[in-house]
Amino acid sequence: MKIGLIQPSIGKIKNQPYVKSWNMYPLNLGVIAGLTPNDIDISFFDDRHEDIAFDNHLDIVAMPVETYTAKRAYSIADRFRSQGTRVVLGGMHTTLLPQEAKQHSDAIAIGDSETTWPHIVEDFRLGNIKELYISDNKEKTLRGVRPKREIFQGRKYLPIELVETGRGCYQKCDFCSVTSTYNHTYRSKSIEDIVEDIESLDRRFVYFVDDNFVSDFKRTKELCDSLTPLKIRWTSQGSVNMADDKELLKALKASGCLNMLIGFESLNPKSLELMGKSWASETRNYSESVKKIRDHGITIYATFVFGYDTDTKDDFKRTLDFAIENKFAITAFNHLVPFPGTPLYSRLEKEGRLLYSNWWLRNNGKFGEVVFKPKNMTAEELSESCFNCREEFYSYSSIFSRLNDFKANSRNLTNLSYIAYVNLFSRKEAKRRQGWSIGEII
């Protein structure tokens, strides 16, 4: 029995390297490989870096589908199915749009692979594969499955290890496909499993892929206490309310935290209210929260989103100035994306403001284009303004001014080297991503 695990690309341009910032190894496929019985032959293909061997005579092909990779994933799936290979699709996009994914697959997996993949493999052995597999994981904790990372060997990924400690998020941001997929829930792995996974890694630089590493303050402190003896350096994603707990910040720093991505999303309270995130700014001074985090030597990757009905052109400069003044190590200035299955998508669709209903499948789609009608500017103005903020934030003068920070960004040689490299890297990558073809092989 031969199984192919495939990571689809957003789209590829021949004779050009893939966007490096999208170049981490696909941990979810490592998990699937870890769930696969040892007597099964696994082939792994990463569509971002190599040609897929369609003539490899595979029995099953499994692919995770995300919204930006859906068009390419369906193209790959259709080709395999045309030659008799069974195709199984999973991932967040499949979970949110199962009827669409069904048109390009023999089976779809909804929810966690830990409880669907073993059944899929066993049913195929018995010649009784079903069209639909739904995760029955009702446990409050995630099962401890060790990813089989050896399938990634020989490929040039970013030099960072990926580890998952929890999945989902409690928040209810209306634009977020994560909260829609996991229904505003969060589940964590046991600390023992996490430590064992990290101890098995070769590299000491780790990215915890959790959507919110600090969802549970008490549990996060316990985890950090167990991470401290491992002497790793790590980065992850969190929420700004971590600044409210001094003991948590101390634990994060002691455990090796270099940087936390924080979704500030907007400086406009009315926009935060529209997106369901008004809690982030109520009775809170963002600059004070930022200072508390940076005072503990933790740098910040700040993300902002523009395009809500209360946003105006003035918000771009105000946010850019705020990002530079607060010496954020990294910042993303994103336009609003109506992901299918989210309350945002449903609202814009009901209001007739989507420029394309299934924008992820349309021909000539480009990364960075706006696919809905904003209220106070054109779609083109929204896209261009976000790109201009990226260019200004990663200008040499901005990089130099933010490196002149001995509390966090340049508090030691490790931080200085890391932040300098990431900024120069991001300066180049921001330009390469803009206008990248979605689903096309050019």
- 117 and 164 in a single domain? The answer is no
Query: Would residue 91 count as lying in a domain?
Result: yes
- 347 and 211 in a single domain? The answer is yes
- 271 and 335 in a single domain? The answer is yes
| Per-residue pLDDT tens digits for 75-97 | 999 999 999 999 999 999 999 99
What's the Cα-to-Cα distance from 433 to each of 152, 304, 428, 429, rounded to whole Å?
24, 17, 9, 6
Question: What single letter denotes the amino acid at residue 17?
Answer: P
- 164 and 60 in a single domain? The answer is no
List own/partner pairs for 374-383 with CB under 8 A and 24 or more apart.
374/307, 374/309, 374/311, 374/336, 375/309, 376/309, 376/311, 376/312, 376/313, 377/312, 377/313, 379/355, 381/313, 382/306, 382/307, 382/335, 382/336, 383/335
Q: What is the pTM of this model?
A: 0.92
Last residue of a domain, one of 134, 150, 177: 134
Q: State the pLDDT at residue 278.
A: 66
Last residue of a domain, one of 134, 150, 167: 134
Buried residues in 386-402 as b, exposed as e (16+ CB within 10 A): bbebbebbbeeebbeeb
- Rounded distance between C-alpha atoms, residue 215 and residue 188, angstroms: 10
> DSSP letter at 18?
P
Query: Would residue 191 count as lying in a domain?
Result: yes
Query: Would residue 149 count as lying in a domain?
Result: no
Question: How many domains, in total, are found in the chain?
Answer: 2
Q: Which CATH number covers residue 101? A: 3.40.50.280
Buried residues in 159-173 as b, exposed as e (16+ CB within 10 A): eebbbbbbbbbebeb
**Treating both helix axes as pointing N-terminal to C-terminal, what angle do 27-35 and 113-125 enclose, rounded to 10 degrees?**
50
| Per-residue pLDDT tens digits for 165-192 | 988 877 778 888 887 777 777 788 899 9
- Rounded distance between C-alpha atoms, residue 216 and residue 357, angstroms: 37
Nearest Cα neighbor of 88 from 130, 50, 122, 47 is 130
Per the CB < 8 A criterion, the answer to whether 284 and 269 are in contact is: no
For residue 27, give both structure tokens: 């941990």
Strand partners, 206: 161, 234
Q: State the pLDDT at residue 141.
A: 64
Q: CB under 8 Å to 35, separation ≥6 — which residues?
A: 113, 114, 117, 118, 121, 145
Q: Which CATH number covers residue 213? A: 3.80.30.20
- 394 and 263 in a single domain? The answer is yes
Query: Would residue 237 count as lying in a domain?
Result: yes
Last residue of a domain, one of 134, 149, 174: 134
Q: Is 235 helix (H, G, I), strand (E, B) or coil?
A: strand
Per the CB < 8 A criterion, the answer to whether 379 and 369 are in contact is: yes
Query: Would residue 292 count as lying in a domain?
Result: yes
For residue 361, give both structure tokens: 């499948």
- 222 and 363 in a single domain? The answer is yes
With a cut of 70, list the residues of the chain below it in pLDDT: 137-141, 278-283, 442
Q: State the pLDDT at residue 173.
A: 82
- 333 and 273 in a single domain? The answer is yes
Question: What single letter denotes the amino acid at residue 36?
Answer: T
Query: Would residue 440 count as lying in a domain?
Result: no
| Per-residue pLDDT tens digits for 248-285 | 999 999 999 999 999 999 999 899 888 887 665 566 78
Kindly report the number of other CB atoms within 10 A of residue 82's CB atom: 9
- 103 and 247 in a single domain? The answer is no
Query: Would residue 153 count as lying in a domain?
Result: no
Which helix or strand (DSSP H or E) is residue 305 part of? strand 299-306
- 194 and 71 in a single domain? The answer is no
Q: State the pLDDT at residue 49.
A: 87
Q: State the pLDDT at residue 140.
A: 61
- 271 and 201 in a single domain? The answer is yes
Q: State the pLDDT at residue 283.
A: 63
Domain that holds residue 426: 159-433
Could you identify the residue written with the tokens 């096309």?
Answer: 440
What's the Cα-to-Cα distance from 338 to each of 170, 182, 341, 385, 440, rounded to whole Å?
20, 17, 9, 18, 21
For residue 423, give both structure tokens: 């900024």
Query: Would residue 421 count as lying in a domain?
Result: yes
- Helix, strand, coil share (%) of the chain residues, nearest 5: 40, 20, 40
For residue 391, give both structure tokens: 């260019």
- 216 and 111 in a single domain? The answer is no
- 167 and 79 in a single domain? The answer is no
